[in-house]
Amino acid sequence: MRFRLTAAAAALVFICAALPAAAQFGPPGPPSVGTVTVQRKPVTETSEFIGRVQATDRVDIVARVTAFLQERLFTEGSEVRQGDLLYRLERPPFEADLHAKQATVAQMSALLRNATITLNRAQSLLNTPAGQRSTVDDDLAQQASYAAQLQAAVAQAQSSQINLDYTEIRAPIGGKISRTTVTAGNVVGLTTGPLTTIVSQDPMYVTFPVPVRAWLELRNSFEARGGIEAAVVRLRLPDGTLYGQPGRLDYADPIVAQNTDTITLRGRIPNPLRPGAKPSDLGSRNLTDGEFVTVLVEGAEPLLALAIPRSAVLSDQQGSYVYVVDADKKAQQRRIRLGQSTPSMAVVMEGLAEGDQVIADGIQRVRPGVVVNPAPVGAPPGAPAGTGTGK
C-alpha cells in the first residue's frame, strides 16, 4: 500500500510539472510593434555632403631677387599681419647698384642742362649773322637725346630701388604662416621656390561636390524662399561635434564634373578665435585649411511637412518604403517618396497621409500582411492604440 501511494504521488508531481511546459508550446500571439502617427511637423530640411575646408586666401612667399638670406623674423605656425617683415636678405650689393644708378641720373641731368643752355644760345643767335639753322637743329637733337638718356637712367634707378626693397620680404596678407623651407645663410631667388606659405584664417571656405539631381532638388526647394543663397551651411567636425558658426553658400561651379556628374558648391563660414585663445597659440581656431568635414545644408526656416522617424524608413532596389498598420491591424508595405530631411526625421512627399499609423519599432518582426499588436512608441506595455507620445 505504501508503494502504491508513493507511485501515485510521484505521478501527480510529474503531471503538475509537465503542465506549464506544455503551455509554453502553444501558438504565439501577434508580434508587438511600436507605431507613430503621421502628422505635419515643423522640419528644417537638411542635406549632408562631404566637403573640405579651404582658406579664402593662400599665398606662397618667394624671393624676387637673388641674394643671401640673412634673417627670418617670424615664428613658424603663428599668425602674422599684413605688412609684417618675414625675411631680410643681404642689402649691400643692391644699395651699391642703386647708388651707381643715381649717379648716372645726376650725370645725365647735368648734360641735359648744358644742352638746354647751348640750345637757347643758338636760338638767340639765329636772327644774327653769327647764327645758323643747322647749329640750332643739332643742339635741339642733342637736348632731346640727353632727355631720353636721363629718362632711361631714372627708370634704371627706380628698378634698382625696387630690387633693394625686395630684400625685405613682407606678408602680403594676414593669416597663419607655415614653417620655413630655407634657413638663414642660403642663397635664395626666383628658382628657389616658396620660402613659406600664408593661409588666411577668418572667414574660411568649405567646398563640397553635390550630385546634379540633389543640386536641382536643392535649387527648386529654395526657389520660393530667396534662392539657394538663403540656405544655411553648418559643419560637423571630424570628431563628430557640430561646429557652432553657421555660414552661407556663395558659389556654385558652372561646370558639371563629367567623371562624377557632380557640381561643386562653396560656402563661406566664420572661423573666429577659440574662447581664451590668442592668435599666436597653436590650434587657436577650430577650422584648418584642407580639413575634411561633413557639410549640412539647412533651410533658412522650418517647414510644415509630413514627417516620420528615420528609423521607420526602409529601402530596397525599388526605393524607400514603410510598414503601415491598417484597420485590421495588419502590416502593409507602402512605397514613399522622400523629400529633404533631417538626420532624425524623414520628410514624406508622397505615399502617406496624415493620420496613418507607421511602424517605427519592431520592424524586424514584420512582414507584409502579418497581423501585429500595435502600440504607440513610448506608450507603456499593454496600452491601447492612441496613447503614448507618438514621437
pLDDT tens for the 391 residues of the chain, in order: 454 545 555 555 454 554 454 445 556 678 888 888 888 887 666 778 899 999 999 999 999 999 999 999 998 888 899 999 999 999 999 999 999 999 999 999 999 898 888 888 877 777 676 667 777 778 789 889 989 999 999 999 999 999 999 999 999 999 999 999 999 989 999 888 999 999 999 899 999 999 998 888 778 877 766 677 778 889 999 888 889 899 998 888 999 988 889 999 999 999 998 888 888 777 788 899 999 999 988 765 666 778 888 888 888 888 889 999 988 888 888 998 887 666 677 888 888 888 889 988 888 888 888 888 888 876 444 444 444 444 4
CA distance readout (Å), 43 to 40, 188, 231, 290, 380:
9, 59, 14, 32, 27
The pLDDT value given to residue 311: 85
DSSP-derived secondary structure letter, 30: P
Helix (H, G, I), strand (E, B) or coil at 266: strand
DSSP-based three-state secondary structure for 282: coil
Answer yes or no: are the C-beta atoms of 273 and 284 closer than 8 Å.
yes
- Calpha distance 209→61 (Å, rounded): 30
Element (H, E) at 9: helix 2-24
φ/ψ of residue 214, rounded to 5: -65, -35
The radius of gyration of the chain's CA atoms, rounded to the nearest angstrom, is 42
Q: Are strands 196-199 and 175-177 parallel, antiparallel or unpaired?
A: antiparallel
What is the structure's pLDDT at 39? 84
Strands 32-37 and 373-376: parallel
- Torsion of the alpha carbons at 278, 281, 285 and 287, rounded to the nearest 10: 160
